[in-house]
Amino acid sequence: MTARFELDNVDCRYGARTAFEMGKLSIAVGELTAIAGPNGAGKSTLIKTLAGLVTPVHGEVRLDGVALQRFADRERARRIAYLPADSRLAWPLIAIRVVELGRYPFLKPLHGFTEEDGELIKEAVQRAGADGLTERRFDELSSGEKARILLARALATNAGTLLLDEPGAALDPRHQLAVMKVLKAEAGRGVCTVFAGHSLELVSRFADRVLVMDQGRIIADGPPQEALSPYVLSDVFGLDAPRGITPPDWALA
């Protein structure tokens, strides 16, 4: 598969503290990549680094063979859709306006949304399960409803790369499952789809590849059955699971 991201000897720090460091890593199109690990492992920093929001102090991140910092902000926003973990936003906007923000990098000066923009926005709302929420005020939605609107905003960008940090954290099991099915479908249609998640059951059920992080390093990398081996589950997560992770019945629906 074609590599979308390539990381080469990347070292990211917050002040004197190393957030994560690694030698070489490639992330391909056409597969759903999950980043798993305990709190503080470096998952969010890796997602932000791929999104261009954190600049490594050493090394290089390349997107389609081009150093990420060479892209102008507008071009990067067209190529990469990013969904942060924190949806605690207080925008007094009608929710559909939040979704429309996903199309702003494509707007021409002094022009409004095109018919194509409108179709992409409508499709994104449907795929995110946000029907019925778009005419309500965003700041009056529940945390789960906000999460669905923000997912719709990311999908509306229609970018070749989709990066999500804890996309199901605020959702009930039914909507978590729906989101994972959306991400799987995005990867299936050639979008480079990467998410950080805490639910090992969902990771094992849906991800094609799992990067397990601990203390800023990648400890395991491979299909879920390999990356989430009983040894890794014990050593990294402190779990006694000699048979590995078994997805719950609702994750198999």
Per-residue pLDDT tens digits for 217-228: 999 999 999 999
> 242: Cβ–Cβ under 8 A, 6 or more apart, which residues?
230
DSSP states of the chain as a string?
Answer: --EEEEEEEEEEEETTEEEEEEEEEEEETTSEEEEE-STTSSHHHHHHHHHTSS--SEEEEEETTEEGGGS-HHHHHHHEEEE-S-------SBHHHHHHGGGGGGPPTT----HHHHHHHHHHHHHTT-TTTTTSBGGGS-HHHHHHHHHHHHHHT--SEEEEESTTTTS-HHHHHHHHHHHHHHHHTT-EEEEE-S-HHHHHHH-SEEEEEETTEEEEEESHHHHT-HHHHHHHH----TT-----GGGG-
Strands 58-63 and 66-67, bridge-based pairing? antiparallel
For position 13, what pLDDT does the model report? 87
For position 21, what pLDDT does the model report? 87
Judge whether residue 120 has pLDDT over 70.
Answer: yes
- The residue count for the chain: 253
Mean pLDDT of 159-164: 96
Mean pLDDT of 98-126: 92
Judge whether residue 142 has pLDDT over 70.
Answer: yes
Q: Decide: 224 and 212 in contact? Cβ < 8 Å.
A: no
Fold classification of 3-86+161-252 (topology level): Rossmann fold (3.40.50)
Q: For the chain, what are the domain ranges?
A: 3-86+161-252
Distance separating alpha carbons of residues 53 and 115, to the nearest angstrom: 31
Q: Decide: 99 and 153 in contact? Cβ < 8 Å.
A: yes
Q: For residue 110, with 0-12 CB atoms within 10 Å meaning exposed, 13-18 middle and 19 or more buried, which class applies?
A: exposed
Judge whether residue 87 has pLDDT over 80.
Answer: no
Please tell me the pTM assigned to this model: 0.91
Residue 11 pairs in a beta bridge with 21, 58
pLDDT-derived band of residue 88, with 50, 70 and 90 as boundaries? low
For position 20, what pLDDT does the model report? 87
* Per-residue model confidence as pLDDT tens digits over 31-85: 999 999 999 899 999 999 999 999 999 999 999 999 999 999 999 999 999 999 8
pLDDT-derived band of residue 252, with 50, 70 and 90 as boundaries? low
In this predicted model, which residue has the larger pLDDT, 202 or 88? 202
Q: Decide: 165 and 83 in contact? Cβ < 8 Å.
A: yes
Judge whether residue 180 has pLDDT over 90.
Answer: yes
Judge whether residue 170 has pLDDT over 90.
Answer: no
For position 1, what pLDDT does the model report? 60
Instruction: Quote the percentage of the chain above a pLDDT of 70.
Output: 94
The mean predicted confidence, pLDDT, of the chain is: 90
For position 114, what pLDDT does the model report? 92
pLDDT-derived band of residue 253, with 50, 70 and 90 as boundaries? low
